């Protein structure tokens, strides 16, 4: 994730790796960028300053637990990944009366 801090407006570019962990940041204006690794299940890696044309080797940093990993993405990102089953996929059908675990009798 490259970010250029010296612009009056925010400039960020997000790229993904291939199956071998390689990445390319195409068409970046000449400048110095802060580049780091961010991803689901990770915490942000240390930021490295680099310019276009420079080869750098970044290392992903696994989160020590799910709570730590969740701090890096807003709740709406996690919500967007949620796949709610279709109505006909719910096994119970219509519940007439809540059971004891739900405050019923």
**Chain centroid to CA 100:** 39
Residue 27: the pLDDT is 80
CA distance 35 to 56: 9
- pLDDT band for position 32 (cuts 50, 70, 90): confident
Average pLDDT, the chain: 80
The strand pairing partners of 48, in sequence order, are 35
Average pLDDT of the segment spanning 49-64:
91
CA distance 28 to 36: 15
Residue 71: the pLDDT is 84
pLDDT tens sequence across 68-105: 888 887 777 777 878 888 888 877 666 667 666 666 55
CA distance 52 to 67: 35
Q: Enter the pTM of the model.
A: 0.60
């Amino acid at each position: 994730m490259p970010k250029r801090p010296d612009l009056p407006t925010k400039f960020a570019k997000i790229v993904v790796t291939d199956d071998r962990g390689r990445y390319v940041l195409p068409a970046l204006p000449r400048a110095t960028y802060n580049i780091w690794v961010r991803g689901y299940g990770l915490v942000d890696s240390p930021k490295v300053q680099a310019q276009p044309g420079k080869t750098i080797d970044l290392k992903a940093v696994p989160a020590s637990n799910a709570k730590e990993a969740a701090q890096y993405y807003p709740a709406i990102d996690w919500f967007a990944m949620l796949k709610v089953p279709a109505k006909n996929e719910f096994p119970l059908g219509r519940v007439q009366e809540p059971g004891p675990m739900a405050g019923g009798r």
